[in-house]
Structure 1
Protein backbone atom coordinates (compact mmCIF):
# COMPACT_ATOMS: atom_id res chain seq x y z
CA UNK A 1 0.00 0.00 0.00
CA UNK A 2 2.84 2.38 0.79
CA UNK A 3 4.53 1.54 -2.51
CA UNK A 4 1.38 2.30 -4.50
CA UNK A 5 0.96 5.58 -2.60
CA UNK A 6 4.54 6.55 -3.46
CA UNK A 7 4.05 5.65 -7.11
CA UNK A 8 0.79 7.62 -7.26
CA UNK A 9 2.41 10.75 -5.86
CA UNK A 10 5.26 10.49 -8.40
CA UNK A 11 2.75 10.74 -11.25
CA UNK A 12 1.83 14.12 -12.77
CA UNK A 13 -0.97 15.95 -10.93
CA UNK A 14 -4.50 14.87 -11.86
CA UNK A 15 -6.86 17.82 -12.26
CA UNK A 16 -10.61 17.59 -11.73
CA UNK A 17 -12.40 17.28 -15.06
CA UNK A 18 -14.92 20.16 -15.23
CA UNK A 19 -17.25 17.94 -17.28
CA UNK A 20 -17.60 15.66 -14.25
CA UNK A 21 -20.46 17.87 -13.08
CA UNK A 22 -22.37 17.62 -16.40
CA UNK A 23 -24.74 14.84 -15.39
CA UNK A 24 -27.12 13.28 -17.89
CA UNK A 25 -30.23 13.58 -15.72
CA UNK A 26 -30.77 17.17 -14.59
CA UNK A 27 -34.56 16.94 -14.38
CA UNK A 28 -36.19 18.69 -11.44
CA UNK A 29 -39.16 17.38 -9.49
CA UNK A 30 -40.96 18.86 -6.49
CA UNK A 31 -38.65 21.84 -6.78
CA UNK A 32 -35.54 19.66 -6.33
CA UNK A 33 -32.97 20.02 -9.13
CA UNK A 34 -31.42 16.77 -10.30
CA UNK A 35 -34.16 14.98 -8.38
CA UNK A 36 -33.13 11.36 -9.03
CA UNK A 37 -29.46 12.04 -8.40
CA UNK A 38 -30.48 13.54 -5.04
CA UNK A 39 -33.04 11.01 -3.79
CA UNK A 40 -31.05 7.94 -4.84
CA UNK A 41 -28.73 8.83 -1.96
CA UNK A 42 -31.39 7.84 0.59
CA UNK A 43 -30.33 4.15 0.64
CA UNK A 44 -26.96 5.27 2.04
CA UNK A 45 -28.79 6.78 5.00
CA UNK A 46 -30.74 3.57 5.64
CA UNK A 47 -27.78 1.20 5.31
CA UNK A 48 -25.38 3.44 7.20
CA UNK A 49 -27.78 3.94 10.10
CA UNK A 50 -28.40 0.19 10.36
CA UNK A 51 -24.66 -0.39 10.42
CA UNK A 52 -24.10 2.21 13.13
CA UNK A 53 -26.76 0.57 15.30
CA UNK A 54 -25.15 -2.83 14.76
CA UNK A 55 -21.67 -1.59 15.67
CA UNK A 56 -22.93 0.36 18.68
CA UNK A 57 -23.99 -2.84 20.41
CA UNK A 58 -20.64 -2.73 22.16
CA UNK A 59 -19.29 -5.94 23.73
CA UNK A 60 -21.64 -8.09 21.64
CA UNK A 61 -19.88 -7.03 18.45
CA UNK A 62 -16.83 -9.04 17.42
CA UNK A 63 -14.03 -7.76 15.20
CA UNK A 64 -12.75 -4.30 14.34
CA UNK A 65 -15.80 -2.54 15.77
CA UNK A 66 -14.48 1.03 15.68
CA UNK A 67 -13.23 0.75 12.11
CA UNK A 68 -16.55 -0.70 10.96
CA UNK A 69 -18.32 2.08 12.87
CA UNK A 70 -16.29 4.69 10.98
CA UNK A 71 -17.15 2.91 7.74
CA UNK A 72 -20.88 3.11 8.42
CA UNK A 73 -20.65 6.70 9.66
CA UNK A 74 -19.06 7.54 6.33
CA UNK A 75 -21.82 5.68 4.48
CA UNK A 76 -24.49 7.58 6.43
CA UNK A 77 -22.89 10.95 5.77
CA UNK A 78 -22.63 10.19 2.05
CA UNK A 79 -26.41 10.49 1.84
CA UNK A 80 -26.19 14.07 3.13
CA UNK A 81 -23.00 15.11 1.34
CA UNK A 82 -23.88 13.63 -2.03
CA UNK A 83 -27.46 14.88 -1.82
CA UNK A 84 -26.19 18.38 -1.09
CA UNK A 85 -23.69 18.18 -3.94
CA UNK A 86 -26.30 17.18 -6.51
CA UNK A 87 -28.48 20.17 -5.65
CA UNK A 88 -25.79 22.43 -7.13
CA UNK A 89 -22.93 20.38 -8.61
CA UNK A 90 -19.54 22.12 -8.62
CA UNK A 91 -16.12 21.62 -7.06
CA UNK A 92 -17.09 23.42 -3.85
CA UNK A 93 -20.10 21.23 -3.10
CA UNK A 94 -18.22 18.14 -4.28
CA UNK A 95 -16.01 18.48 -1.21
CA UNK A 96 -18.96 17.48 0.99
CA UNK A 97 -19.59 14.43 -1.18
CA UNK A 98 -16.00 13.23 -1.05
CA UNK A 99 -15.26 13.82 2.63
CA UNK A 100 -17.62 11.11 3.91
CA UNK A 101 -16.54 8.77 1.12
CA UNK A 102 -12.92 9.11 2.22
CA UNK A 103 -13.94 8.27 5.81
CA UNK A 104 -15.84 5.21 4.60
CA UNK A 105 -12.99 3.97 2.41
CA UNK A 106 -10.41 4.27 5.17
CA UNK A 107 -12.67 2.71 7.79
CA UNK A 108 -13.27 -0.25 5.49
CA UNK A 109 -9.57 -0.69 4.75
CA UNK A 110 -8.52 -0.58 8.41
CA UNK A 111 -11.29 -2.99 9.39
CA UNK A 112 -10.22 -5.60 6.85
CA UNK A 113 -6.50 -5.18 7.57
CA UNK A 114 -7.11 -5.49 11.32
CA UNK A 115 -9.31 -8.56 11.06
CA UNK A 116 -6.91 -10.39 8.73
CA UNK A 117 -3.46 -9.37 9.97
CA UNK A 118 -3.73 -8.36 13.62
CA UNK A 119 -6.69 -6.87 15.46
CA UNK A 120 -4.33 -4.59 17.40
CA UNK A 121 -3.67 -2.71 14.17
CA UNK A 122 -7.08 -1.08 14.47
CA UNK A 123 -5.89 1.10 17.36
CA UNK A 124 -2.70 2.03 15.50
CA UNK A 125 -4.07 2.64 12.02
CA UNK A 126 -7.62 3.94 12.36
CA UNK A 127 -7.04 7.57 13.34
CA UNK A 128 -4.12 8.15 10.90
CA UNK A 129 -6.07 6.48 8.09
CA UNK A 130 -9.16 8.63 8.66
CA UNK A 131 -6.98 11.74 8.80
CA UNK A 132 -5.27 10.70 5.57
CA UNK A 133 -8.64 10.22 3.89
CA UNK A 134 -9.87 13.65 4.98
CA UNK A 135 -6.52 15.21 4.03
CA UNK A 136 -6.80 13.74 0.52
CA UNK A 137 -10.02 15.69 -0.07
CA UNK A 138 -8.65 18.89 1.43
CA UNK A 139 -5.47 18.52 -0.65
CA UNK A 140 -7.53 18.13 -3.83
CA UNK A 141 -9.76 21.08 -2.94
CA UNK A 142 -6.86 23.49 -2.53
CA UNK A 143 -4.51 22.16 -5.24
CA UNK A 144 -6.89 20.66 -7.83
CA UNK A 145 -4.79 17.49 -7.67
CA UNK A 146 -6.69 14.23 -7.31
CA UNK A 147 -3.75 11.86 -6.92
CA UNK A 148 -4.04 11.31 -3.17
CA UNK A 149 -7.83 11.02 -3.29
CA UNK A 150 -7.67 8.51 -6.15
CA UNK A 151 -5.35 6.38 -4.00
CA UNK A 152 -7.70 6.62 -1.01
CA UNK A 153 -10.66 5.53 -3.13
CA UNK A 154 -9.07 2.67 -5.02
CA UNK A 155 -6.54 1.15 -2.64
CA UNK A 156 -9.25 -0.91 -0.85
CA UNK A 157 -10.18 -2.45 -4.23
CA UNK A 158 -6.59 -3.70 -4.56
CA UNK A 159 -5.71 -4.43 -0.93
CA UNK A 160 -8.82 -6.27 0.21
CA UNK A 161 -8.67 -9.13 -2.34
CA UNK A 162 -4.94 -9.50 -1.60
CA UNK A 163 -5.61 -9.68 2.14
CA UNK A 164 -8.32 -12.29 1.65
CA UNK A 165 -5.95 -14.42 -0.41
CA UNK A 166 -2.88 -14.10 1.82
CA UNK A 167 -4.40 -14.20 5.30
CA UNK A 168 -6.93 -16.32 7.09
CA UNK A 169 -9.54 -14.75 9.33
CA UNK A 170 -11.54 -16.14 12.25
CA UNK A 171 -14.56 -14.24 10.96
CA UNK A 172 -17.03 -15.93 8.56
CA UNK A 173 -18.80 -14.84 5.36
CA UNK A 174 -15.76 -13.17 3.81
CA UNK A 175 -17.18 -13.88 0.36
CA UNK A 176 -19.63 -11.03 0.92
CA UNK A 177 -16.68 -8.63 0.96
CA UNK A 178 -15.67 -9.73 -2.53
CA UNK A 179 -19.28 -9.43 -3.68
CA UNK A 180 -19.42 -5.91 -2.24
CA UNK A 181 -16.24 -4.91 -4.07
CA UNK A 182 -17.60 -6.35 -7.31
CA UNK A 183 -20.81 -4.37 -6.96
CA UNK A 184 -18.86 -1.20 -6.22
CA UNK A 185 -16.83 -1.70 -9.40
CA UNK A 186 -20.13 -2.12 -11.29
CA UNK A 187 -21.27 1.16 -9.71
CA UNK A 188 -18.17 2.95 -11.03
CA UNK A 189 -18.84 1.52 -14.50
CA UNK A 190 -22.42 2.82 -14.36
CA UNK A 191 -21.08 6.21 -13.30
CA UNK A 192 -18.70 6.28 -16.28
CA UNK A 193 -21.54 5.49 -18.70
CA UNK A 194 -23.89 8.02 -17.14
CA UNK A 195 -25.25 9.43 -20.41
CA UNK A 196 -25.31 6.08 -22.22
CA UNK A 197 -27.41 4.45 -19.49
CA UNK A 198 -29.78 7.44 -19.54
CA UNK A 199 -30.29 7.05 -23.29
CA UNK A 200 -30.54 3.24 -23.28
CA UNK A 201 -33.16 3.22 -20.52
CA UNK A 202 -35.30 5.76 -22.33
CA UNK A 203 -34.49 8.44 -19.74
CA UNK A 204 -35.83 6.20 -16.98
CA UNK A 205 -32.61 6.38 -14.96
CA UNK A 206 -29.11 7.73 -15.54
CA UNK A 207 -25.87 5.90 -14.97
CA UNK A 208 -25.06 8.17 -12.05
CA UNK A 209 -28.36 7.51 -10.28
CA UNK A 210 -27.82 3.80 -10.89
CA UNK A 211 -24.34 4.19 -9.46
CA UNK A 212 -25.83 5.50 -6.20
CA UNK A 213 -28.13 2.49 -5.88
CA UNK A 214 -25.37 -0.02 -6.63
CA UNK A 215 -22.89 1.77 -4.37
CA UNK A 216 -25.41 1.61 -1.49
CA UNK A 217 -25.87 -2.12 -2.10
CA UNK A 218 -22.15 -2.71 -1.47
CA UNK A 219 -22.17 -1.55 2.20
CA UNK A 220 -25.48 -3.38 2.64
CA UNK A 221 -23.61 -6.62 1.88
CA UNK A 222 -21.00 -5.63 4.46
CA UNK A 223 -23.83 -5.07 6.93
CA UNK A 224 -25.23 -8.53 6.12
CA UNK A 225 -21.77 -10.04 6.70
CA UNK A 226 -21.46 -8.41 10.12
CA UNK A 227 -25.06 -9.20 11.04
CA UNK A 228 -24.56 -12.90 10.24
CA UNK A 229 -21.37 -12.86 12.27
CA UNK A 230 -23.20 -11.49 15.29
CA UNK A 231 -26.06 -13.95 14.82
CA UNK A 232 -23.63 -16.86 14.62
CA UNK A 233 -21.88 -15.75 17.80
CA UNK A 234 -25.17 -15.48 19.66
Structure 2
Protein backbone atom coordinates (compact mmCIF):
# COMPACT_ATOMS: atom_id res chain seq x y z
CA UNK A 1 0.00 0.00 0.00
CA UNK A 2 2.82 2.38 0.88
CA UNK A 3 4.54 1.68 -2.46
CA UNK A 4 1.31 2.31 -4.40
CA UNK A 5 0.74 5.59 -2.54
CA UNK A 6 4.28 6.77 -3.32
CA UNK A 7 3.83 5.93 -6.99
CA UNK A 8 0.56 7.86 -7.05
CA UNK A 9 2.16 10.91 -5.46
CA UNK A 10 5.04 10.78 -7.95
CA UNK A 11 2.58 10.62 -10.83
CA UNK A 12 0.69 13.62 -9.47
CA UNK A 13 3.90 15.62 -9.18
CA UNK A 14 4.87 14.80 -12.77
CA UNK A 15 1.44 15.76 -14.05
CA UNK A 16 1.53 18.98 -12.07
CA UNK A 17 4.96 19.83 -13.50
CA UNK A 18 3.75 19.27 -17.04
CA UNK A 19 0.67 21.38 -16.34
CA UNK A 20 2.82 24.22 -15.00
CA UNK A 21 5.13 24.06 -18.02
CA UNK A 22 2.09 24.15 -20.29
CA UNK A 23 0.80 27.24 -18.51
CA UNK A 24 4.17 28.96 -18.86
CA UNK A 25 4.34 28.31 -22.59
CA UNK A 26 0.68 29.28 -23.08
CA UNK A 27 1.32 32.55 -21.26
CA UNK A 28 4.46 33.23 -23.30
CA UNK A 29 2.65 32.59 -26.60
CA UNK A 30 -0.28 34.80 -25.51
CA UNK A 31 2.09 37.61 -24.53
CA UNK A 32 3.87 37.33 -27.88
CA UNK A 33 0.58 37.50 -29.78
CA UNK A 34 -0.50 40.58 -27.81
CA UNK A 35 2.79 42.33 -28.51
CA UNK A 36 2.55 41.52 -32.22
CA UNK A 37 -1.01 42.85 -32.38
CA UNK A 38 -0.32 45.97 -30.32
CA UNK A 39 2.79 47.14 -32.18
CA UNK A 40 2.99 48.34 -35.79
CA UNK A 41 5.26 46.71 -38.34
CA UNK A 42 8.85 47.93 -38.09
CA UNK A 43 10.54 48.12 -41.50
CA UNK A 44 14.20 48.43 -42.40
CA UNK A 45 15.60 51.94 -42.46
CA UNK A 46 18.80 53.18 -44.05
CA UNK A 47 19.38 55.31 -40.93
CA UNK A 48 19.87 52.09 -38.94
CA UNK A 49 23.17 51.51 -40.75
CA UNK A 50 24.53 55.05 -40.22
CA UNK A 51 26.82 54.78 -37.22
CA UNK A 52 28.55 57.71 -35.57
CA UNK A 53 32.10 56.47 -36.22
CA UNK A 54 32.57 55.56 -39.88
CA UNK A 55 36.30 56.34 -40.11
CA UNK A 56 38.58 54.38 -42.38
CA UNK A 57 42.05 53.39 -41.17
CA UNK A 58 44.52 51.47 -43.35
CA UNK A 59 41.82 50.75 -45.92
CA UNK A 60 39.43 49.06 -43.45
CA UNK A 61 35.94 50.63 -43.57
CA UNK A 62 34.40 51.50 -40.18
CA UNK A 63 37.66 50.37 -38.61
CA UNK A 64 36.88 50.60 -34.88
CA UNK A 65 33.43 49.05 -35.27
CA UNK A 66 35.11 46.12 -37.04
CA UNK A 67 38.10 45.69 -34.71
CA UNK A 68 36.03 45.82 -31.52
CA UNK A 69 34.20 42.65 -32.57
CA UNK A 70 37.26 40.39 -32.25
CA UNK A 71 37.18 40.11 -28.43
CA UNK A 72 34.12 37.91 -29.03
CA UNK A 73 36.37 35.42 -30.83
CA UNK A 74 39.07 35.56 -28.15
CA UNK A 75 36.65 34.53 -25.40
CA UNK A 76 34.18 32.45 -27.46
CA UNK A 77 36.57 29.81 -28.81
CA UNK A 78 38.36 29.00 -25.50
CA UNK A 79 35.01 29.04 -23.71
CA UNK A 80 33.52 26.55 -26.16
CA UNK A 81 36.55 24.24 -25.88
CA UNK A 82 36.50 24.30 -22.07
CA UNK A 83 32.73 23.79 -22.02
CA UNK A 84 32.83 20.73 -24.27
CA UNK A 85 35.84 19.26 -22.44
CA UNK A 86 33.76 19.07 -19.26
CA UNK A 87 36.76 19.18 -16.92
CA UNK A 88 37.14 22.84 -15.94
CA UNK A 89 33.71 24.46 -15.69
CA UNK A 90 31.14 23.96 -12.94
CA UNK A 91 28.45 22.33 -15.10
CA UNK A 92 26.46 19.49 -13.55
CA UNK A 93 23.63 18.90 -16.05
CA UNK A 94 23.76 17.90 -19.72
CA UNK A 95 21.16 20.54 -20.53
CA UNK A 96 23.42 23.22 -19.06
CA UNK A 97 26.30 21.98 -21.18
CA UNK A 98 24.25 22.36 -24.37
CA UNK A 99 23.11 25.82 -23.32
CA UNK A 100 26.65 27.01 -22.62
CA UNK A 101 27.92 25.39 -25.84
CA UNK A 102 25.36 27.35 -27.87
CA UNK A 103 26.28 30.51 -25.97
CA UNK A 104 30.03 30.24 -26.61
CA UNK A 105 29.56 29.14 -30.23
CA UNK A 106 27.29 32.14 -30.85
CA UNK A 107 29.80 34.44 -29.12
CA UNK A 108 32.65 33.26 -31.35
CA UNK A 109 30.47 33.49 -34.46
CA UNK A 110 29.50 37.06 -33.54
CA UNK A 111 33.09 38.16 -34.19
CA UNK A 112 32.86 37.12 -37.85
CA UNK A 113 29.22 38.06 -38.38
CA UNK A 114 29.48 41.52 -36.85
CA UNK A 115 32.80 42.29 -38.56
CA UNK A 116 31.33 41.19 -41.91
CA UNK A 117 28.35 43.48 -41.39
CA UNK A 118 30.37 46.53 -40.31
CA UNK A 119 32.65 46.32 -43.32
CA UNK A 120 29.63 47.35 -45.42
CA UNK A 121 26.49 47.89 -43.31
CA UNK A 122 23.28 47.18 -45.22
CA UNK A 123 20.02 45.23 -44.95
CA UNK A 124 21.51 42.09 -46.49
CA UNK A 125 24.48 41.81 -44.14
CA UNK A 126 22.80 42.81 -40.89
CA UNK A 127 21.32 39.33 -40.46
CA UNK A 128 24.83 37.96 -39.80
CA UNK A 129 25.25 40.52 -37.04
CA UNK A 130 21.88 39.80 -35.41
CA UNK A 131 21.76 36.00 -35.63
CA UNK A 132 24.64 35.17 -33.22
CA UNK A 133 23.62 37.92 -30.78
CA UNK A 134 20.04 36.64 -30.65
CA UNK A 135 21.28 33.06 -30.21
CA UNK A 136 23.57 33.98 -27.32
CA UNK A 137 20.78 35.89 -25.52
CA UNK A 138 18.41 32.93 -26.01
CA UNK A 139 21.04 30.54 -24.66
CA UNK A 140 21.61 32.57 -21.50
CA UNK A 141 17.89 32.78 -20.81
CA UNK A 142 17.53 29.01 -21.29
CA UNK A 143 20.55 28.31 -19.06
CA UNK A 144 18.95 30.22 -16.21
CA UNK A 145 15.71 28.26 -16.66
CA UNK A 146 17.65 24.98 -16.58
CA UNK A 147 19.69 26.01 -13.56
CA UNK A 148 17.02 27.64 -11.42
CA UNK A 149 13.69 26.09 -12.43
CA UNK A 150 13.76 22.78 -14.34
CA UNK A 151 16.14 21.09 -16.77
CA UNK A 152 13.48 19.77 -19.14
CA UNK A 153 11.73 23.12 -19.25
CA UNK A 154 15.06 24.82 -19.95
CA UNK A 155 15.96 22.45 -22.78
CA UNK A 156 12.51 22.99 -24.27
CA UNK A 157 13.03 26.72 -23.88
CA UNK A 158 16.41 26.52 -25.66
CA UNK A 159 15.06 24.60 -28.66
CA UNK A 160 11.98 26.83 -28.86
CA UNK A 161 13.97 30.07 -28.69
CA UNK A 162 16.53 28.91 -31.28
CA UNK A 163 13.62 28.03 -33.57
CA UNK A 164 12.06 31.43 -32.89
CA UNK A 165 15.37 33.11 -33.75
CA UNK A 166 15.30 31.46 -37.18
CA UNK A 167 11.62 32.34 -37.64
CA UNK A 168 12.25 35.98 -36.72
CA UNK A 169 15.14 36.20 -39.20
CA UNK A 170 12.89 34.67 -41.89
CA UNK A 171 10.15 37.21 -41.09
CA UNK A 172 12.65 40.05 -41.31
CA UNK A 173 13.91 38.92 -44.71
CA UNK A 174 10.52 37.93 -46.15
CA UNK A 175 8.12 40.52 -44.75
CA UNK A 176 10.53 43.37 -43.92
CA UNK A 177 9.35 43.23 -40.31
CA UNK A 178 11.80 43.73 -37.44
CA UNK A 179 9.38 43.26 -34.54
CA UNK A 180 10.40 39.71 -33.65
CA UNK A 181 14.10 40.60 -33.83
CA UNK A 182 13.53 43.63 -31.61
CA UNK A 183 11.96 41.37 -28.96
CA UNK A 184 15.27 39.52 -28.57
CA UNK A 185 16.82 42.81 -27.46
CA UNK A 186 14.01 43.61 -25.01
CA UNK A 187 12.91 40.28 -23.50
CA UNK A 188 16.33 39.20 -22.09
CA UNK A 189 16.68 42.60 -20.38
CA UNK A 190 13.48 41.80 -18.45
CA UNK A 191 13.45 38.01 -18.15
CA UNK A 192 17.06 37.44 -17.03
CA UNK A 193 16.98 39.89 -14.06
CA UNK A 194 13.53 38.52 -13.13
CA UNK A 195 14.85 34.94 -12.98
CA UNK A 196 17.86 36.07 -10.95
CA UNK A 197 15.68 37.74 -8.32
CA UNK A 198 12.78 35.27 -8.18
CA UNK A 199 14.58 31.90 -8.06
CA UNK A 200 17.42 30.80 -5.74
CA UNK A 201 20.79 29.97 -7.32
CA UNK A 202 21.94 26.38 -7.63
CA UNK A 203 25.62 27.37 -7.65
CA UNK A 204 27.93 29.67 -5.73
CA UNK A 205 29.29 32.93 -7.22
CA UNK A 206 25.84 33.82 -8.57
CA UNK A 207 26.70 37.51 -8.16
CA UNK A 208 28.59 37.24 -11.45
CA UNK A 209 25.21 36.95 -13.19
CA UNK A 210 24.26 40.41 -11.89
CA UNK A 211 27.59 41.85 -13.02
CA UNK A 212 27.15 40.35 -16.50
CA UNK A 213 23.58 41.67 -16.67
CA UNK A 214 24.85 45.13 -15.77
CA UNK A 215 27.33 45.10 -18.66
CA UNK A 216 24.59 43.86 -21.01
CA UNK A 217 22.26 46.72 -20.03
CA UNK A 218 25.15 49.20 -20.30
CA UNK A 219 25.87 47.93 -23.81
CA UNK A 220 22.24 48.52 -24.82
CA UNK A 221 22.46 52.09 -23.50
CA UNK A 222 25.72 52.71 -25.39
CA UNK A 223 24.13 51.54 -28.63
CA UNK A 224 21.29 54.05 -28.18
CA UNK A 225 23.69 56.87 -27.28
CA UNK A 226 26.12 56.09 -30.12
CA UNK A 227 26.50 59.65 -31.45
CA UNK A 228 26.38 61.36 -28.05
CA UNK A 229 29.17 59.16 -26.67
CA UNK A 230 31.24 59.72 -29.81
CA UNK A 231 30.90 63.49 -29.35
CA UNK A 232 31.55 63.34 -25.58
CA UNK A 233 34.74 61.31 -26.14
CA UNK A 234 35.98 64.03 -28.52
CA UNK A 235 35.56 61.67 -31.46
CA UNK A 236 37.92 59.01 -30.11
CA UNK A 237 35.46 56.13 -29.77
CA UNK A 238 31.75 55.79 -30.46
CA UNK A 239 28.97 54.30 -28.40
CA UNK A 240 28.62 51.40 -30.82
CA UNK A 241 32.28 50.41 -30.47
CA UNK A 242 31.93 50.59 -26.69
CA UNK A 243 28.80 48.44 -27.01
CA UNK A 244 30.91 45.70 -28.62
CA UNK A 245 33.46 45.88 -25.80
CA UNK A 246 30.80 45.79 -23.07
CA UNK A 247 29.04 42.84 -24.72
CA UNK A 248 32.39 41.02 -24.85
CA UNK A 249 32.68 41.52 -21.09
CA UNK A 250 29.55 39.40 -20.58
CA UNK A 251 31.11 36.06 -21.67
CA UNK A 252 34.35 36.97 -19.89
CA UNK A 253 32.54 37.48 -16.57
CA UNK A 254 30.45 34.34 -17.03
CA UNK A 255 33.56 32.31 -17.90
CA UNK A 256 35.19 33.38 -14.63
CA UNK A 257 31.98 32.41 -12.83
CA UNK A 258 31.95 28.94 -14.42
CA UNK A 259 35.60 28.41 -13.51
CA UNK A 260 35.21 29.14 -9.78
CA UNK A 261 31.64 28.14 -8.95
CA UNK A 262 30.46 24.97 -7.21
CA UNK A 263 27.07 23.45 -6.38
CA UNK A 264 25.28 25.32 -3.62
CA UNK A 265 21.80 23.77 -3.71
CA UNK A 266 21.17 20.19 -4.88
CA UNK A 267 18.37 20.36 -7.42
CA UNK A 268 16.76 17.44 -9.23
CA UNK A 269 16.60 17.61 -13.03
TM-score, normalised with respect to structure 1? 0.92
Take 1:41 and 1:7, find their aligned partners in 2: how far apart are those partners? 35
Take 1:179 and 1:59, find their aligned partners in 2: how far apart are those partners? 25
User: Which one is further off, 185-194 or 5-14?
Assistant: 5-14
From 5, 12, 32, the equivalent of 1:5 is 32
Q: Superposition RMSD on alpha carbons, in Å?
A: 1.9
Take 1:23 and 1:209, find their aligned partners in 2: how far apart are those partners? 10
Pair 1:51 & 2:58 matched: no
Take 2:165 and 2:80, find their aligned partners in 1: how far apart are those partners? 20
How many angstroms does 1:231 deviate by?
11
Aligned residues: 232
Corresponding residue for 1:42?
70
Pair 1:162 & 2:194 matched: yes
Take 2:69 and 2:106, find their aligned partners in 1: how far apart are those partners? 13
1:103-128 residue CA offsets vs partner (Å, 9 max, x unmatched): 11111111111111012334333222
Whether the 8 Å CA contact 2:204–2:262 is kept in 1: the answer is no
Whether the 8 Å CA contact 1:28–1:34 is kept in 2: the answer is yes
Structure 1 residue runs without a partner (length 5+) = none
Q: State how 1:16-165 maps to structure 2 within 5 Å.
A: 16-58=44-86, 61-63=91-93, 64-165=96-197
How many angstroms does 1:230 deviate by?
6.1
Corresponding residue for 2:12?
none
Corresponding residue for 2:9?
none
Structure 2 residue runs without a partner (length 5+) = 1-27, 265-269
Whether the 8 Å CA contact 2:66–2:118 is kept in 1: the answer is yes
